[in-house]
Amino acid sequence: MSISGYAIITAMCIGLFSFDIRGIRLHRALHKRGVRTTARCINIAQNEKGLYRLQLQYLRPDGTSYAFKDEPYEFPPVGLGGELEIIYDPENYAAARLVSKLSPRYIPYFMTIAILAFIGATVAFMVGR
């Protein structure tokens, strides 16, 4: 493999690691200070791949509403007007997730270790050649 191939693999690993760090921060914030509430489905849109994306709305403690879009679904868990339990970060209202999709505390750390091991193996392979 040429040096450019190794550079591409390394760049992909660094990108994965950076993405994982953002996910860990959000995950930790939701577990640490997350507030659970109910959100109502106010819109369902279908994308070009046939997946459905829900727009959910919930009330903040001051009474104002906040809407966010959830991850795409093959089969939406609720219809228009349906309610789902969510958890949001009171310091960042955009950081909201369905409670059912919030993984256990240890999963993001396991993913970080796996990505770092992959980066280490890639570097070791590059140096060994």
Domain boundaries, the chain: 3-128
* 18-32 b/e (C-beta count within 10 Å ≥ 16 → b): eebeeeeebbebbee
CA angle 29, 27, 64 (to 5 degrees): 55
What are the residues whose beta carbons fall under 8 Å from the beta carbon of 71, sequence distance 6 or more? 53, 101
Q: What is the pLDDT along the chain (129 residues), one digit of tens a residue?
A: 566 666 777 677 666 666 555 666 776 777 788 888 999 999 999 989 999 999 999 988 888 888 988 888 888 889 999 999 988 888 877 778 888 776 655 555 666 677 777 777 777 776 766
* Amino acid, res. 37: T
pTM reported for the whole predicted model = 0.61
Cβ burial of 128 (10 Å; 0-12, 13-18, 19+) is exposed
Distance between first and last Cα of the chain: 9
